[in-house]
A = this chain, B = another copy of it.
Amino acid sequence: MLLFREVLGEVLREIRNAQARTLREVSKDAKVSLGYLSEIERGQKEASSELLAAICEALDVPQANVLMLVSERFAEAEGLPAAFPDVVPSHLAEDVYSAL
C-alpha cells in the first residue's frame, strides 16, 4: 500500500534536487532541522500541514503543484485509467520544473 508521506517525500526530494539545493539550504529556509527534513524526504516522518507549507515555500513551489505530483504517482500506482495520469503529470511537471 502506497503511503502519502513516502510519495510526498520522494516528490519534495526531486524538486530540491532539480533546484540543485542542499538539505541544509532548504532546511534553513523552511526553519526545520536538517535531520527532520531528511526524514520527511525519506518518508520516515509525517510532515505537519504547517511544515509542508513551509517546505513548499522554501522550495518556492505552490503546494498545489506538489500535491498534484503526489496525486499523479498515486494514480499510477493505483492503476487509474490512463486518461487520468496522462492529462495531469506532463502538465504539472512542466509547471513545477520549468520554473526552477
Contact = CB atoms under 8 A, between A and B. Distances in A.
User: Contact size class for A?
Assistant: 20 to 34
Nearest to A43: B49
A80 B56 CA distance: 15
A50 B1 CA distance: 9
Given A63-B78, A64-B80, A80-B95, 10 more contacts: A2-B63, A3-B53, A4-B63, A46-B49, A62-B75, A64-B74, A64-B75, A65-B75, A65-B80, A67-B74
Oligomeric state, in number of copies?
2
A68 interface: yes
A49 B2 CA distance: 9
Secondary structure type dominating chain A contacts? helix
Contact of A62 (B62, B74, B88): B74
Contacts of A38: none
